[in-house]
Amino acid sequence: MRKYYLEVLVFVSGALVMVLELTGSRIIAPYVGSSIFVWSSLIGIILAALSLGYYWGGKLADRGARNKTLGIITFSAGIFIGASAVFEKSILGLLSENISDIRIIALVSCLILFAPGSVALGMVVPYTVKLKLRSLKRTGEVTGRLYALSTIGSILGTFLTGFYLISSLGSRNILFLISALALVLSFALLAKRIRVWSLFGFFVLMMTYSFPLTNNLPFLDKDTAYNRVILEEGLDPKTSRPILVLKTGILRQSAMFLDKDDDLVYEHTKYYRLAGHFNPNIKKALAIGGGGFSYPKDFLKNYPEADLDVVEIDPTITALAKKYFNLSETPRLRIVEMDGLVFLKRNIKKEYQTL
């Protein structure tokens, strides 16, 4: 293991880059959404940061490559990533309050939160190449092998994050996990005194994370395979009645009055009741998207003889609706866990009387 430690470091650093990029999309989603602007900003900023890291890493290595310096680079990556987890709410909140253009918010937030860690991770490969070179005759072989390992690590990090980590651990927890992993990897390359300081630095980050920097915290903040779901309690601006709001990213999907859960909060959802005007004898209907199931509950109450199918892609949202939005099981309600467009393409029956 000691013989191939640098190869392991390169492989893991490649994985961490993609974990950071994919997790970053969930971190900033509640403030600017998950549009093409967000992904363009993330990809562009991280690629630019990696390019800068490649350049600085190679230039620094030519001055005299040492294991200790590589350890400091890896340690720095861990601290930068951990700091992004601690300060993301404060930074994104400040940007969203003072800038109206989501493209600028996305660019600046990616630059502040994710560029420093990406620069440090980018420095790892060229610096390791210098450490591994023993003969100029093997320059191509060593360089190719290390960059291949980094790329394979990135592939693994991509699938691991998208298929498992985000929905299992949550975005902020992932940032702390990869921060800790980078710090641990740096230990073998650092002097004993610096290891103590690195542990102290991570401890400070964790303590800061334990004490919220703002009182404006959501009731629940959970990552799923499809969304970052946020539940917030507040007051309806029109009636001042207490409400519970379900958001996916920046979008408010559903809301429920806490003093009377079968009332509709949003005005646009009340227009759905016009279905009864056009077809007073509804027997079966279809709703695409469940969210907090505010309108499905209203439909079942107002049409006691009708059945309703609801297509909701995210089973976690349905579970939250049952737990927090008083959604009850009933034979008249069938919930289909599927993408709405896929359901419409596959369902060739003409049994629905209204949408």
Tens of pLDDT, residue by residue over 15-34, are 999 999 999 999 998 888 88
Q: Give the pLDDT confidence score for residue 104 in this predicted structure.
A: 93
* pLDDT score, position 1: 46
Tokens 């800790």 belong to 180
> What is the pLDDT, as a whole number, of residue 253?
84
Q: Quick one: pLDDT at residue 206?
A: 61
Q: Is the pLDDT of residue 40 over 60?
A: yes
pLDDT surpasses 50 at 215: no
pLDDT band at 50 (very low <50, low <70, confident <90, very high): very high
Q: How many CB atoms lie within 10 A of CB 338?
A: 14
Among candidates 280, 171, 156, 260, which has minimal Cα distance to 224? 171
Higher local confidence (pLDDT), 333 or 133: 333
Provide mean pLDDT across the span 76-99.
89
pLDDT band at 221 (very low <50, low <70, confident <90, very high): confident
Which tens digits make up the pLDDT trace of 268-327?
888 888 888 888 888 888 999 888 999 999 999 989 989 999 999 999 999 999 999 989
Judged by DSSP in three states, 303 sits in: coil
**pLDDT of res. 214:** 46
CATH of domain 221-346: 3.40.50.150
Q: What is the pLDDT of residue 274?
A: 87
Assign 115 a pLDDT band (cuts: 50, 70, 90).
very high
Tell me what percent of the chain is helix, strand and coil, each rounded to the nearest 5. 65, 10, 25
Average pLDDT over residues 145-154: 92
The DSSP string of 15-31 is HHHHHHHHHHHHHHHHH
pLDDT at position 201 over 70: no
Q: Closest Cα to residue 325, out of 239, 253, 269?
A: 253
Q: What was the pLDDT predicted at 308? A: 92
Confidence class for position 189, pLDDT limits 50, 70, 90: confident
CATH class of 5-217: mainly alpha
Tell me, what's the pLDDT at 320? Answer: 92
Average pLDDT of the residues of the chain: 85
Percent of the chain exceeding pLDDT 90 equals: 37
Domain ranges of the chain: 5-217, 221-346
The pair of three-digit structure tokens given for residue 251, joined into one six-digit string: 């979008």
Helices 67-98 and 171-187 cross at an angle (nearest 10°) of 160
348 or 42, higher pLDDT? 42
pLDDT the model gives residue 293: 92
257 forms beta bridges with: 243
Q: Which residue has the higher pLDDT, 45 or 259?
A: 45
| pLDDT in the model for residue 65 | 83
CA 21/CA 293 separation, integer angstroms: 32
Residue 141: predicted pLDDT: 84
Report the phi/psi class of residue 291: left, alpha or beta, with left for phi > 0 and alpha for psi in -120 to 50: left
